Amino acid sequence: MSMTFSGQVALVTGAAAGIGRATAQAFAAAGLKVVAADLDTQAGETTVALIRAAGGEATFVRCDVTKDAEVKALMEQVIATYARLDYAFNNAGIEIEKGKVAEGDEAVFDAIMSVNVKGVWLCMKHQLPLMLAQGGGAIVNTGSVASLGAAPKMSIYAASKHAVLGLTKSAAIEYAKSNIRVNAVCPGVIDTDMFRRAHEADPKKAAFASAMHPVGRIGKVEEIAAAVLYLCSDGASFTTGQALAVDGGFTAA
């Protein structure tokens, strides 16, 4: 099955780093026009520069996905720039938690839920009307292996990523007859800034992270990008409402 695309324009949130940047680069390498959205203008512009240097087409738009007006303006910018929105990768997310449930902090709860859940909901809220109007599209939301099971000392994050699946599956059913597919990618531990912030200070933790994946290593950003492109591609035309674990066997063990 080939990785072919009937659409031309892809949007990636959280595109200034890690999984988002790699996926924006992969969409561009596949010949799509890319809107790279993020809070971080400087690093987001770097993503666009990397894409252009490789011969691709991309535009950066600064957007805080937790703000309705900014997400609405982002979609307006996508249409103003490239006239349509075929694929959306709603990927911006944060992980800022350090303790068990009883040690949790209200502000941390609100911040994680705001980016990881409200952000995905707002993005879909403003993307779906565009896709409906043009007759179809595909959305991929970033879940996690923490969408599929417990995440000790990351319970708020796990709750937020479980919620991403609730949004994903519900939207998939609501729009199934409208030629819009909605899926989630659920990465295991991936080598990004998020991972390094959490593990670099403690080599034992990093070794543990590798060992918990049956393949014996953590994942690469390109391995998540490939799964996202597959879920958007024509090869996944019968796939909707799914949570695709890309985790080196972690959730199968």
Q: Give the helix ranges, DSSP H, for 54-192.
A: 68-82, 106-113, 119-134, 155-174
Which one of 104-112, 125-133, 189-197, 232-240 is the stretch in contact with ligand NAD (CB under 6 A)? 189-197
Q: How far is the CB of 10 from ligand NAD (least distance, A)?
A: 16
Residue 183 burial class via C-beta count within 10 angstroms: exposed 0-12, middle 13-18, buried 19 and up: buried
Is 144 a binder of ligand NAD (CB under 6 A)? yes
Please say whether the beta carbons of 147 and 96 come within 8 A: no
Q: How many residues does the chain have?
A: 253
Is 93 a binder of ligand NAD (CB under 6 A)? yes
SS3 199: helix
Among 23, 25, 91, 242, binds ligand NAD (CB under 6 A): 91
Residues contacting 198, CB < 8 A, separation 6+ = 95, 205
Residues binding ligand NAD: what is the number (CB under 6 A)? Answer: 30
Among 66, 155, 168, 183, binds ligand NAD (CB under 6 A): 66
SS3 36: strand
Angle at 175 between CA 246 and CA 133, to 5 degrees: 115
Which one of 2-10, 50-58, 101-109, 192-200 is the stretch in contact with ligand NAD (CB under 6 A)? 192-200
Nearest partner of 214 among 151, 136, 145, judged by Cα: 145
Among 7, 20, 56, 248, binds ligand NAD (CB under 6 A): 20
Closest to ligand NAD by CB, 108 or 132: 108
Among 10, 24, 35, 65, binds ligand NAD (CB under 6 A): 65
Closest to ligand NAD by CB, 146 or 172: 146
Residue 203 burial class via C-beta count within 10 angstroms: exposed 0-12, middle 13-18, buried 19 and up: exposed
Catalytic-labelled residue, pool 82, 87, 157, 175: 157
Closest to ligand NAD by CB, 38 or 97: 38
Q: Which amino acid belongs to residue 13? A: T
Closest to ligand NAD by CB, 141 or 240: 141
Closest to ligand NAD by CB, 20 or 248: 20
Angle at 219 between CA 60 and CA 209, to 5 degrees: 120
**Rounded CA gap, 116 and 146, in Å?**
12
- List the interface residues with ligand NAD, window 27-46 (CB under 6 A): 38-40
87 a catalytic residue: no
Q: How far is the CB of 14 from ligand NAD (least distance, A)?
A: 3
Please say whether the beta carbons of 243 and 186 come within 8 A: yes
Is 141 a binder of ligand NAD (CB under 6 A)? no
Residues taking part in catalysis:
157
Residues forming contacts to ligand NAD in the complex (CB under 6 A) are 13-14, 16-20, 38-40, 63-66, 91-95, 115, 119, 142, 144, 187, 189-190, 192-195
